[in-house]
Amino acid sequence: MSPILVGPLAVAGLSTVLAFLIAILDKFLNNYGQLKISINGGKKELVVKGGSPLLGTLAAEGIFVPSACGGRGTCGACKCKVLTDVGPHLPTEMPYMSPKDIEGNVRLACQVKVRKDLEIELPEELFSIKKLKTRVERIKDLTYDIKEVLLSLEGQTIEFEAGQYVQLVVPPYGDIPESAQRAYSMSSRPSDSAHVELLVRLVPGGIATTWVHKFLKEGDSVEIVGPFGEFRIHDTTASMICVAGGSGMAPFKSILNHMKETGAFPEKEIWYFFGARTTKDMFYLDELSALAKAWPRFHFVAALSEPKPEENWKGDVGLITDVLDRYLQGKIDKKKGLEGYLCGSPGMINACINVMKKNGMTEDKIYFDKFA
Amino acid sequence: MKLRPIEKDAFGRMGPGTITAQGFLGNDSRAPEEIIAEDEMEFARLGLDFEAVADELENLKIEGEKGLGEPLTVGKLLIQTGDARGMLPCPYGDGLHHKNAVSVRLADQPAESCVEGEDMLVFSDLSIHLLRVHHFCQGRGSPFRLEPALMARLVKER
């Protein structure tokens, strides 16, 4: 053998032996075996295989903690209380933790590995969350960038409150090598437990929205996880001031149809402000106008921020916050009290909260579903 | 080109599935250091300055945010800002940025005929940071690629 080859071959041989040793050691040293997870003071006990992140371990046992990034540690949604000492918070967790979270042992379930028996606390409602296999029954274009997607649960059912959301499981596709999950509010009525309807607006560069808009077809199988969320109608007699833009329409479609169908909360007056740029961005206009005619306590205010002369728009004009301000100042009866219900981008929500506060509404009576 | 350890680590985090599912390199066959070097040359050729262009993108985002999530006409441009849940770390490890997407295109061009990266610029807070601090415009084929010629064209139309 040439002496030139001896060095590289020796290094290659040594590397192979070391890799083999590491693999063997990893198998034995990182084999945590069967471990116990005790949830909510022993109300639920799980026996699981150790070594994996808590988020995935719980999901394998049918307990779905909300996560918008699929466990990559970039959304901060999968917070839960870990009472067992599992070491200090990781740098990947810190951006999502308030001092109160840190003091209360709140952790990101996707960043904590199950390496010993754990005691954790989870909201009870997570136990009723299911993973459902669905089939796409219909995809309808509402505008050039918003699609209405109707999913059939094919014999399964879902129980939810109007205003809640599900996580859509996006499989690997095109250049996307990994599955991801994204949250979408349900626009369907709770009484139709055999279907889930979602409104999805195309976000440039968005993984889930690109999949829905460019890859998903009628007849395809889709997994969803849910229901999640605290956004729901509050049982009071106060009038509802609802504001949305774009696909923020979804929870309100569900809420309005549910209230009309069941006659729920009969004392509540409902004002619904919906903003878009031009008529090309507006949808469900006829349906909501017809609903307002047939349902005296429902008032629908559609506004365009940049109507073109040729559109001959007869409705309100301006940014939705300006329109809301005008109505709150002179057209809405405040005698029964007002509650705010908002769904949209953080910018829209913050701007609406400012307008509502300026008009005497209190922040504790403003409920919202922020996209972010 | 010899890479510094910080660059080596950063480039290792730019592939799909580490920080974002898609990664930062798109289908570009060039190494990250080549992408940066070639874009720096393109910036010089177009007479652009990284800091100034990053400021312009920041301003476009601020203007677009006034649309409250809906598209908004700003001069000859149409800007739309959107948000997602969470934060993204910079691959170079020097900061966390809110997950968002700002799209900018000519207002008179119908959305249906727009091609991302060719007629429409898409960027986030992280893209602005990568441009400003690291001169990294991302690889070709990345949805958030900041093509220097397109940036020069759109920024001029503002």
A326-353 residue pLDDT tens: 999 989 999 999 999 998 878 888 899 9
Q: Tabulate helix, strand, coil % of chain A (nearest 5).
A: 30, 30, 40
Give how far A174 is from chain B: nearest CA, Å: 10
Instruction: Give the number of beta-carbon pairs within 8 Å between A and B.
Output: 124
Confidence of residue A8 (pLDDT cuts 50, 70, 90): confident
Domains A34-126 and A129-228 belong to one CATH topology = no
Domain A34-126: top CATH class: alpha beta
Which CATH number applies to A129-228? Answer: 2.40.30.10
Q: What is the pLDDT of residue A25?
A: 67
Q: Which residues of B touch A210 (CB under 8 A)?
A: 143
Please report, for chain A, the start and end positions of each structural domain, with discontinuous segments joined by +: 34-126, 129-228, 239-370
Please report, for chain B, the start and end positions of each structural domain, with discontinuous segments joined by +: 52-158
d(CA A277, CA A314): 14
CB contact under 8 A, A371 and B82: yes
E strand residue ranges, chain A = 34-39, 44-49, 79-82, 106-108, 118-121, 130-141, 146-152, 165-170, 180-185, 195-201, 221-228, 239-245, 270-276, 298-304, 316-317, 338-344, 366-370
pLDDT average, residue stretch B46-72? 92
Closest-CA residue of chain A to B98: A372
Q: Is B99 on the interface with A (CB under 8 A)?
A: yes
> Tokens 């990664």 label which residue?
B23
Residue A372 scores a pLDDT above 50: no
> Tokens 């007056």 label which residue?
A269
d(CA A211, CA A193): 25
Of chain B, the end-to-end C-alpha distance in Å amounts to 38
d(CA A305, CA A281): 11
Residues sharing a CB contact under 8 Å with residue A160, sequence separation 6 or more, in sequence order: A186, A190, A226, A227
Other C-beta atoms within 10 Å of A137: how many? 16
Upstream peptide bond of A227 is cis (omega within 30 degrees of 0): yes
d(CA A302, CA A300): 6
Give SS3 for B157: helix
Least confident of A298-307, A316-325, B80-89: B80-89
Q: Can you give the pTM of this predicted structure?
A: 0.83
DSSP conformation class of A330: H
Which CATH number applies to A239-370? Answer: 3.40.50.80
- What digits encode the pLDDT tens for the residues A310-320? 999 999 999 99
Give how far B39 is from chain A: nearest CA, Å: 21
- A199 DSSP β-pair partners: A148
d(CA A237, CA A278): 34
Angle formed at CA A298 by CA A293 and CA A300, multiple of 5 degrees: 80
**In the structure encoding, which two tokens stand for residue A133, read together?**
């296999």
Query: In this structure, are residues B49 and A328 in contact, taking their beta carbons and an 8 Å threshold?
Result: no
Query: In this structure, are residues B139 and B28 in contact, taking their beta carbons and an 8 Å threshold?
Result: yes
Closest-CA residue of chain A to B22: A176
d(CA B14, CA B35): 12
DSSP conformation class of A91: T
- What digits encode the pLDDT tens for the residues A22-73? 767 666 666 788 999 999 999 999 999 988 899 999 989 989 898 877 777 8
